[in-house]
Amino acid sequence: MTEHFDALEKQDAAAREVNLLSRLPALVRKAMQLPGWKRHLDAIDPAKINSRSALATLPVLRKSELPALQKADPPFAGFIGDTSDDGRLFASPGPIFEAESREDDVWRCARAMFAAGFRKGDIVLNTFSYHLTPGGFVMDSGARTLGCPVIPAGPGNTDQQLEVIQQLRPVAYAGTPDFLKIILDKAQETGKDVSSLKKAFVSGGAFTPSLRDLFAAKGIVAYQCYATADVGVIAYETAAREGMIVNEDVILEIVRPGTGDPVNEGEVGEIVVTSFNMHHPMIRLALGDLSAFMPDASPCGRTGLRIKGWMGRADQTAKVKGMFVRPEQIAEIGKRHPEVKRLRLVITRDNDQDAMTLRAEATDCNDALVAALGESVKAITKLSGKIELVAPGSLPNDGKVIADERPVG
């Protein structure tokens, strides 16, 4: 696939940088009209924020802090203004409340889907959730912008998904890589025909080389993107299979974790994003994910900056099956069960799928406590996990409540 979505992808890299930086003052000025951004950015002069070095002087806004900020100042902590012109309002896991403006493809997904081979007329099975979270609508809007009919399937109900695939014969899949594997495994088990699927655009979970090869063996060419509910598609994979291209209209920085200071070129650090959405400005949002810039342009001909992709978490927040799990959620489980002492959520991979185990220190180990903890995990994180009761004092005293032990890469 050597085609490009538009001429922006092939523009001179220096010209792109000049264009983005020239627009920064207007973005900052717009943001400071909102009380949350005004408090956050304090007394800075927007006219002076016209370079990467100037941008780096601004404080980061940590995504992990948004739930507490919004709870203290509902609904959006002053970072989103009048929603009368918005199309949808969301409550993402965390919870983090967000708004979607009415512009076409406001999440910038079409460009990434085009790079994944999606073309006009391709029927897309979209298995991202349409319930409260933006995920389904991010993919839906990108596909429809390309002229692709969308099956709004959402996640789960695998048997019905197989019936839909057999009847409507979608060419493309959008969803987590884990759920695509579930569909393929179920189809093999039941003898259902899913051979119409030839393309996949995945996000929200680990896309390991073993999964990519498994899909390829089934005749499905899959590409991944890096996206968040706050910004949309930030970076995306291309046919070159060398890192991810940073999306247009996004300034991406790599900073030293826990700070806002840019790292040296090629050094691993935390991803910080500034997004040019004038309706809902986002300035230096620290996402908690680790990555690094790659040198030179991609062999696919796109001239945008490249990152190595997701390389782990800078904090303890983890994404499991497309859902964020946060330390404060583990703390809430502990509050519900004062009979347990220290808690530690361990995240691993099992049969190419994300898996969670909550380890809890308890003096009285019994089946009723195991069941109660399991119910609390599901109620608070919206995910299921195993429960292991261990002796008091046996968990490491290192302050870590979420241990992500999944392999990187």
Single-letter amino acid code for the residue at 48: K
332 is a domain residue? yes
How much is the pLDDT for 398? Answer: 65
My answer on whether 141 and 188 are in the same domain is yes
Single-letter amino acid code for the residue at 338: P
Domain end (from 276, 307, 338): 307
pLDDT band, very low/low/confident/very high, at 371 (cuts 50, 70, 90): very high
My answer on whether 115 and 213 are in the same domain is yes
More confident residue, 272 or 259: 272
Q: Which of 87, 339, 352, 361 is nearest to 215 (CA)?
A: 352
My answer on whether 138 and 164 are in the same domain is yes
- Under a CB-based contact definition with an 8 Å cutoff, are residues 405 and 346 in contact? yes
Pairing of strands 323-325, 318-320: antiparallel
- Under a CB-based contact definition with an 8 Å cutoff, are residues 66 and 77 in contact? yes
Tokens linked to 394:
């046996």
Q: Does residue 1 surpass a pLDDT of 60?
A: no
Q: Does residue 205 surpass a pLDDT of 70?
A: yes
- Under a CB-based contact definition with an 8 Å cutoff, are residues 217 and 184 in contact? no
Integer angstrom CA distances of residue 6 from 3, 54, 275, 301: 9, 30, 19, 12
- Under a CB-based contact definition with an 8 Å cutoff, are residues 323 and 93 in contact? yes
Q: Helix 177-190 vs helix 158-168: angle between axes, to the nearest 10 degrees? A: 80
68 is a domain residue? yes
In angstroms, the CA 95 to CA 332 distance is 13
pLDDT band, very low/low/confident/very high, at 109 (cuts 50, 70, 90): very high
My answer on whether 123 and 155 are in the same domain is yes
In angstroms, the CA 226 to CA 36 distance is 26
Residues 6+ apart with CB under 8 A from 16: 8, 248, 303, 304
* Bond into 152 cis (ω within 30): no
**What's the domain count of the chain?**
3
My answer on whether 148 and 226 are in the same domain is yes
- Under a CB-based contact definition with an 8 Å cutoff, are residues 349 and 376 in contact? no
How much is the pLDDT for 341? Answer: 87
Continuous segment of H or E residues that includes residue 390: strand 386-390
Angle in degrees, CA 165, 170, 174, rounded to 5: 100
My answer on whether 112 and 168 are in the same domain is yes
336 is a domain residue? yes
pLDDT band, very low/low/confident/very high, at 399 (cuts 50, 70, 90): low
pTM: 0.80
Domain end (from 219, 237, 255): 237
How much is the pLDDT for 314? Answer: 75
Q: 3-state secondary structure string, 38-53?
A: HHHHCCCCHHHCCCHH
Partners of 117 in the β-ladder: none
In angstroms, the CA 117 to CA 110 distance is 11
How much is the pLDDT for 342? Answer: 86
Can you give the CATH number for the domain in which 356 is found? 3.30.300.30
My answer on whether 113 and 197 are in the same domain is yes
Domain end (from 307, 339, 361): 307
| pLDDT tens digits, 44-98 | 999 999 999 999 999 999 998 999 999 999 999 999 999 998 999 999 888 999 9
In angstroms, the CA 238 to CA 274 distance is 22
How much is the pLDDT for 339? Answer: 94
My answer on whether 288 and 328 are in the same domain is no
My answer on whether 332 and 399 are in the same domain is yes
Structural domain containing residue 267:
7-83+245-307
DSSP character for 407?
A: P
| pLDDT tens digits, 218-258 | 999 999 999 999 999 999 999 999 999 999 999 999 998 77
Can you give the CATH number for the domain in which 296 is found? 3.40.50.12780
Residue pointed to by tokens 């978490």: 313
How much is the pLDDT for 146? Answer: 98
My answer on whether 108 and 213 are in the same domain is yes
Tokens linked to 191:
């003898």
My answer on whether 79 and 197 are in the same domain is no
313 is a domain residue? no
| pLDDT tens digits, 313-325 | 777 788 899 888 9
Least confident span in 106-120, 190-204, 219-233, 393-407: 393-407
How much is the pLDDT for 259? Answer: 79
Q: What is the mean pLDDT of the chain?
A: 94
In angstroms, the CA 352 to CA 176 distance is 12
409 is a domain residue? no
How much is the pLDDT for 409? Answer: 60
Mean pLDDT on 272-288: 94
261 is a domain residue? yes
360 is a domain residue? yes
Integer angstrom CA distances of residue 128 from 42, 186, 194: 38, 18, 18
| pLDDT tens digits, 126-179 | 999 999 999 999 999 999 999 999 999 999 999 999 999 999 999 999 999 999
In terms of Cβ atoms closer than 10 Å to its own Cβ (0-12, 13-18, 19+), residue 16 is: middle
92 is a domain residue? no
My answer on whether 111 and 223 are in the same domain is yes
How much is the pLDDT for 157? Answer: 93
